[in-house]
Structure 1
Amino acid sequence: MGRSLRWAALVLAVVGALYCAWHWSAWRYRAGMAAGFGARIACSCRYIEGRDLKSCKADFRGLEGMWMVRLSDDGDERAVHASVPLLAARKASYRPGFGCMSDAF
């Protein structure tokens, strides 16, 4: 019984790894889009509207996949960093006269 259980676990691990490998590029693309959107919207919320970052995160409620986006504020640069762990990170900075601009990576 123990040997067949090990084989089943090995097969499940291989299938899981193949599934992740197959979908990885699509996940990275969507994570990049979500992080970029989150950074830009949170930057506008923070530096144009003057709200705190916690209330800005509430603006994403109901948007698919945005629950994974983590936000952090850089007050010295007047920028917001957004990331989806292990997949993508983006930054948007406030520039007077232009508003919040996504920084190129």
Structure 2
Amino acid sequence: MAKSPRSPAKGRTRWGLWLLAIIALVAGGAVWAFRAPITGYGSTAAAYSARVACSCRFVAGRSLKDCTKDKLAGMEAVTLRDDPEAKSVTARFPLVAEATATYREGYGCVLEPYES
């Protein structure tokens, strides 16, 4: 009985899985190595966006959709959500940071936690 040759598709699948594992390992290492700057930039972006969007929304009286135009280049990942009753805007940098700014009469928009 003769051995049947290995199917070429099976060999490619095995190499593809190894390549995928190596890429995931390298990406995970890069995220681990740069976790401090990523966290810092994410926290800063969320806080800045919340403060600026809150001022735009509750001081200038513009809509939140219009306020998203004021985001700086590079802050496309930051999402904004407003709460008109609380007069606050929450900005979120996915998986990294979240910040809320609330309008306070006489103070303008301040980041939470707020202590008077």
TM-score by shorter chain over 0.5 = yes
Measured at CA, do residues 66 and 6 of structure 1 come closer, stay the same or move farther in structure 2, by a change above 3 Å? closer
3-state DSSP of counterpart to 1:68: coil
**What letter corresponds to residue 103 of structure 2 in structure 1?**
Y
Higher alpha-carbon deviation: 17-26 or 27-36: 17-26
Distance 1:72 1:5 in 2: 41
- Equivalent pair of 1:34/1:65 in contact (CA under 8 Å): no
2:7 aligned residue: none
3-state DSSP of counterpart to 1:76: coil
Measured at CA, do residues 59 and 5 of structure 1 come closer, stay the same or move farther in structure 2, by a change above 3 Å? closer
Deviation of 1:8 after TM superposition, in Å, equals: 2.6
- Gap runs ≥5 in structure 2: 1-10
Q: Select which of 30, 33, 38 maps to 2:41.
A: 30
- Number of residues of Structure 1 aligned to a counterpart in Structure 2: 103
User: What is the 5 A alignment of 1:63-74?
Assistant: 63-74=72-83
Deviation of 1:104 after TM superposition, in Å, equals: 2.7
- Equivalent pair of 1:94/1:101 in contact (CA under 8 Å): yes
Rg bigger for which structure?
2
1:81 aligned residue: 90
Q: Provide the aligned C-alpha RMSD in A.
A: 1.6
Distance 1:5 1:94 in 2: 53
**TM-score for both structures, normalised by structure 2:** 0.81
User: What is the 5 A alignment of 1:1-105?
Assistant: 1-2=11-12, 3-60=14-71, 63-104=72-113
3-state DSSP of counterpart to 1:30: helix
Distance 2:18 2:47 in 1: 42
**TM-score for both structures, normalised by structure 1:** 0.89
Deviation of 1:5 after TM superposition, in Å, equals: 3.5
- Gap runs ≥5 in structure 1: none
Deviation of 1:25 after TM superposition, in Å, equals: 2.1
